[in-house]
């Protein structure tokens, strides 16, 4: 419906460049923009970390790029043009995920109290059971 964007969190990472020069009307809005700038880097950072690479170095190199379709291919562990490589996400999915995350964050910020279940401590599972008195090989009657 809305097209595609480079996948793997790259589109959100490059959106931080657009937010760089943006200032809010007041200090709260400016803080909010800074929080969003940091938060939308999280998906690409997590993907890079999961691949066993250093996220700060990779993200730094990506932000230096002029092409907004360039990303870190975690599977091949190299940089690539994500559109050419077919690593894409539907624009609507990325947009709705960001909107829903912002909505939940706003709800949590304005909530005065939250109720949660206390985590239950479960006992460790039992070890392997014994042989139960099974006889040796001499007990086999054929």
Domain with 37 in it: 4-111
Flag whether 78 is in a domain: yes
Flag whether 47 is in a domain: yes
The answer to whether the beta carbons of residues 58 and 72 sit under 8 Å apart is: yes
Beta partners for 70? 81
Domain count, the chain: 1
Q: pLDDT 10s digit of each residue in the chain, 142 long?
A: 789 999 989 999 999 988 888 888 999 899 989 999 999 999 999 999 999 999 999 999 999 988 999 999 999 999 999 999 999 999 999 999 999 999 998 888 888 887 888 888 888 776 666 655 666 666 666 5
Flag whether 76 is in a domain: yes
Flag whether 20 is in a domain: yes
CATH number at residue 11: 1.10.560.10
Q: For residues 32, 38, 43 and 45, what is the CA-based torsion angle, rounded to 10 degrees?
A: -170
What Cα–Cα distance (Å) separates residue 65 from each residue in 79, 100, 133?
Answer: 11, 29, 69
Flag whether 94 is in a domain: yes
Residues 72 and 94: their CA atoms lie apart, in Å, by: 18
Which H or E run includes 70? Answer: strand 70-73
């Amino acid at each position: 419906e809305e097209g595609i964007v480079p996948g793997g969190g790259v589109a959100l990472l490059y959106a931080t460049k657009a937010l760089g020069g943006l200032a809010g009307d007041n200090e709260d809005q400016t803080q909010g923009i800074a929080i969003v700038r940091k938060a939308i880097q999280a998906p690409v950072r997590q993907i890079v970390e999961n691949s066993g690479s250093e996220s700060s170095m990779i993200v730094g190199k990506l932000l230096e790029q002029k092409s907004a379709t360039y990303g870190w291919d975690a599977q091949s562990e190299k940089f690539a043009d994500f559109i050419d490589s077919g690593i894409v996400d539907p624009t609507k999915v990325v947009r709705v995920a960001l909107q829903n995350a912002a909505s939940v964050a706003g709800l949590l910020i304005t909530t005065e109290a939250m109720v949660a279940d206390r985590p239950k401590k479960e006992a460790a599972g039992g070890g392997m059971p014994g042989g139960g008195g099974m006889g040796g090989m001499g007990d086999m009657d054929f």
